[in-house]
């Protein structure tokens, strides 16, 4: 279906045309008629499906027909990066409409706070915000949301994972009860249903776009390695691919981000970190340098796995296996975008093998396991049992026989407890 067939105003169609879009994606085709008809909506669609346009285009279309001089729409997103990206898309789509948007997020100084205050009190039709920072302004008493017509939650499941349930409910309490509420989530666990029941009108429209498999252009592979082997392995992977100018490394914790950056910096790679520990200006600068090619390697937490569109990424490395199988799809979806090709490599320690098998089940394919380079040594043996691999202590290093080993001639040492069947 074309955007013209969806009944959008000429100003919106002109902006879409300049951006090179003609045909709606499935989530846009299914969600936009409900939104334009005024219904609340609960939509399940992963990043990269065009969901931002699905909820923004109907809002801008309404503002094109009925211009206002107050805050009409509040969009809440889990991270600063996603809030900024949504704001940038709104500005592109609204070029011929005249609607104003503003991003409200933490990490800035007093001047940034004052700019946000002015936008919240005098000057924007659409506010895109992270929960915590928006509540900081609401607590000051000067924000008036009594005329808001649309409340949008993007990446709702990630916000709940980050502990924002109470914040979302508090923000909703400042809004009119007869508003239109749109919830977009990449997954649909029971907690999302609970939130939807509390903030959506009865009988909302539901749209579900099945999680897509990784793009055909992504070459996937895995290495089985102990934690003690990972640093050497990742340095070798980057060294062996000099033509790869844009590399994204994912890890699950902020502590590991810094450890990986230090390890790669010692090899003189152009590398920067992106995590919530950085000030917003530093995070923006790091991403800008990465986009421009000034920085070759970015090491990040899952803050960059959803909603961030960085073109031309050659290689995605999962330094560890994500906790949720669907997050794997989001991570490696940063490469091979727009029908290009890319490589996604995951390093799997013994404790992560069961989680990795769940990923293979989700994407309905077995990912090839590549032998470690000889100079790194022998890695663990693949096992999908939900137990610790007996050849590694917690995935950290190969086990070596010693006089305290239960296999030694002295037998079990005092106080030794067998751990081969210990749950992860």
* pLDDT tens-digit series, residues 277-305: 777 678 888 888 998 889 999 999 877 77
Beta-bridge partners for 265: none
Distance, CA of 248 to CA of 92 (rounded, Å): 27
Confidence of residue 274 (pLDDT cuts 50, 70, 90): confident
Exposure string for 336-365, b = 16+ CB within 10 A, e = fewer: bbeeeebbbbbbbbbbbbbbbbbbbeebee
Average pLDDT over every residue of 55-65: 96
User: What is residue 67's three-state secondary structure?
Assistant: coil
Q: Of 34-38, 253-257, 334-338, give the lowest mean pLDDT range.
A: 334-338
- Residue closest to 151 by CA, chosen among 132, 136, 169: 169
Q: Of 126-130, 142-146, 171-175, 272-276, give the lowest mean pLDDT range.
A: 272-276
Fold of 4-208: Rossmann fold (3.40.50)
Please check whether residue 267 is in contact with residue 239, taking contact to mean a CB–CB distance below 8 angstroms: yes
Quickly count: other Cβ atoms within 10 Å of residue 70's Cβ: 14
Which ranges in 183-303 belong to alpha helices (H)?
Answer: 190-199, 227-239, 254-265, 280-292
Average pLDDT over every residue of 74-95: 92
- Residue closest to 97 by CA, chosen among 73, 80, 78, 130: 73
Please check whether residue 142 is in contact with residue 89, taking contact to mean a CB–CB distance below 8 angstroms: no
Distance, CA of 397 to CA of 194 (rounded, Å): 43
- Residue closest to 297 by CA, chosen among 328, 333, 251, 340: 251
Backbone angles phi, psi at 128, to 5 degrees: -110, 120
Which tops the pLDDT comparison, 416 or 367? 367
Per-residue pLDDT tens digits for 110-121: 899 999 999 999
Confidence of residue 385 (pLDDT cuts 50, 70, 90): confident
Distance, CA of 185 to CA of 191 (rounded, Å): 11
Which tops the pLDDT comparison, 151 or 403? 151
Distance, CA of 30 to CA of 36 (rounded, Å): 11
Quickly count: other Cβ atoms within 10 Å of residue 198's Cβ: 11
Per-residue pLDDT tens digits for 217-242: 889 999 999 999 999 999 999 998 88
pLDDT beyond 90 at 63: yes
pLDDT beyond 70 at 393: no
- Residue closest to 273 by CA, chosen among 241, 306, 250: 250
Strand order in the sheet with 297-300: 271-274, 297-300, 247-250, 315-318, 342-348, 218-224, 369-370
Confidence of residue 308 (pLDDT cuts 50, 70, 90): low
State what percent of residues in the chain have pLDDT above 70: 88
- What confidence score (pLDDT) does residue 304 get? 75
Q: Which residue has the tokens 């093998």?
A: 353
Domain 218-370 in this protein, CATH class: alpha beta
Per-residue pLDDT tens digits for 177-218: 999 999 998 878 889 999 999 999 999 999 998 766 777 788
Q: For CATH 3.40.50.300, list the domain ranges present in the chain.
A: 4-208, 218-370
User: What is residue 342's three-state secondary structure?
Assistant: strand
Per-residue pLDDT tens digits for 144-188: 999 999 999 999 988 998 899 999 999 999 999 999 999 998 878
């Amino acid at each position: 279906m074309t955007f013209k067939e969806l009944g959008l105003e000429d100003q919106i169609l002109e902006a879409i045309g300049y951006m090179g879009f003609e045909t709606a994606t499935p989530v846009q085709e299914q969600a936009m008629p409900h939104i334009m008809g005024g219904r609340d909506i609960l939509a399940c669609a992963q990043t990269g499906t065009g969901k931002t346009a699905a909820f923004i285009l109907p809002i801008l279309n309404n503002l094109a027909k009925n211009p206002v001089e107050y805050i009409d729409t509040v969009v809440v997103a889990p991270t600063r990066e996603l809030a900024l990206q949504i704001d940038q898309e709104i500005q592109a789509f609204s070029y011929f409409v005249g609607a104003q948007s503003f991003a409200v997020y933490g990490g800035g100084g007093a001047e940034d706070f004052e700019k946000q205050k002015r936008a919240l009190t005098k000057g924007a039709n659409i506010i895109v915000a992270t929960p915590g920072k928006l509540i900081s302004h609401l607590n000051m008493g000067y924000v008036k949301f009594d005329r808001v017509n649309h409340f949008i939650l993007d990446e709702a499941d990630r916000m709940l994972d980050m502990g924002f349930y109470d914040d979302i409910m508090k923000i909703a309490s400042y809004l009119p009860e007869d508003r239109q509420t749109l919830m977009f989530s990449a997954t649909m666990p029971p907690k999302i249903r609970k939130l939807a029941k509390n903030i959506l009108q009865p009988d909302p429209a539901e749209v579900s776009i099945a999680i897509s498999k990784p793009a055909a252009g992504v070459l996937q592979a895995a290495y089985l390695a102990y934690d003690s082997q990972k640093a050497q392995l990742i340095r070798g992977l980057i060294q062996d691919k000099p033509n790869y100018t844009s590399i994204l490394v994912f890890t699950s914790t902020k502590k590991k981000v810094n450890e990986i950056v230090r390890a790669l910096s010692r090899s003189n790679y152009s590398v920067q970190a992106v995590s919530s520990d950085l000030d917003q200006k530093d995070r923006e600068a790091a991403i800008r340098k990465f986009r421009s090619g000034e920085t070759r390697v970015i090491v990040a937490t899952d803050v960059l796995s959803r909603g961030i569109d960085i073109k031309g990424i050659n290689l995605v490395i999962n330094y560890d296996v994500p906790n949720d199988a669907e997050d794997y799809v989001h991570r490696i979806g940063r490469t091979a975008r727009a029908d290009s090709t890319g490589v996604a490599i995951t390093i799997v320690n013994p404790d992560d093998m069961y989680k990795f098998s769940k990923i293979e089940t989700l994407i309905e394919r077995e990912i090839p396991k590549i032998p470690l380079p000889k100079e790194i040594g022998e890695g663990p043996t693949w096992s999908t049992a939900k137990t610790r691999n007996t050849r590694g202590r917690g995935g950290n290093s190969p086990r070596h026989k010693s006089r305290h080993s239960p296999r030694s001639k002295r037998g079990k040492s005092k106080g030794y407890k067998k751990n081969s069947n210990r749950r992860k």
